[in-house]
Amino acid sequence: MGKIYLIMGKSASGKDTIYQKVRERNKKLLSYVAYTTRPMRDGETEGVEYHFVNPERIERAREEGRLIESRTYSTVYGPWTYATIDDGQIDASRGDYLVPGTLESYISLRDYFGPEMVYPIYVEVEDGLRLKRAIAREEKQEVPKYAEMCRRFLTDSEDFSEEKLKAAGITRRFENNSLEECVNEIVECIAGSSR
């Protein structure tokens, strides 16, 4: 039976870049594309980073009993929902998956699929460096959304609090001070735990 390796971390921790690099290094890892109602950012592609949908699509999945989890954030631009839907993308008989997510989505996937199938990969970065990275990312956007960036930065402190990490059973952390070292450590961890 395959495993779901869920990579998570606070905003601007580098998890999206790490996700891409780990997938490049381990081409056997399958992917899952989550759903969101937020607008697409510059450089994003439908069906790659997310399925960009309207709220009715997520509500329909809930009514059909296929909504694994959803989170709605009150942003400065209105509510944005992120969701994991059982749409057939994840099939444990096909192999291992690498999935980006949050602490909440990790808990929901673990509860839905079982703790033996879902493995957490928590990426950490010192807050000052993380803030600098977040600002640099926003500066590249055609219309930077600094207020939303700040909201996410502050919300992450609560969402990934030490108490919540401990309650979820997150013990191992992957420090992203050096991207290459962090990717190597994660690749080795996945190889070791999938044997």
Give me the pLDDT at residue 194, please: 65
- The three-state secondary structure class of 91 is coil
The 3-class secondary structure across 148-169, one letter per residue, is HHHHHHHHHHHHCCHHHHHHCC
Taking only the tens place, the pLDDT of each residue in 133-186 is 999 999 999 999 999 899 889 999 999 999 999 999 999 999 999 999 999 999
Residue 185 CA to chain centroid, in angstroms?
18
pTM of the model: 0.86
- 144: which residues sit within 8 A by CB, 6+ positions away? 138
193 has a pLDDT exceeding 70: yes
76 has a pLDDT exceeding 90: no
Average pLDDT over residues 13-22: 94
Residue with tokens 């928590």: 122
Taking only the tens place, the pLDDT of each residue in 23-56 is 999 999 999 999 999 999 888 999 998 999 999 9
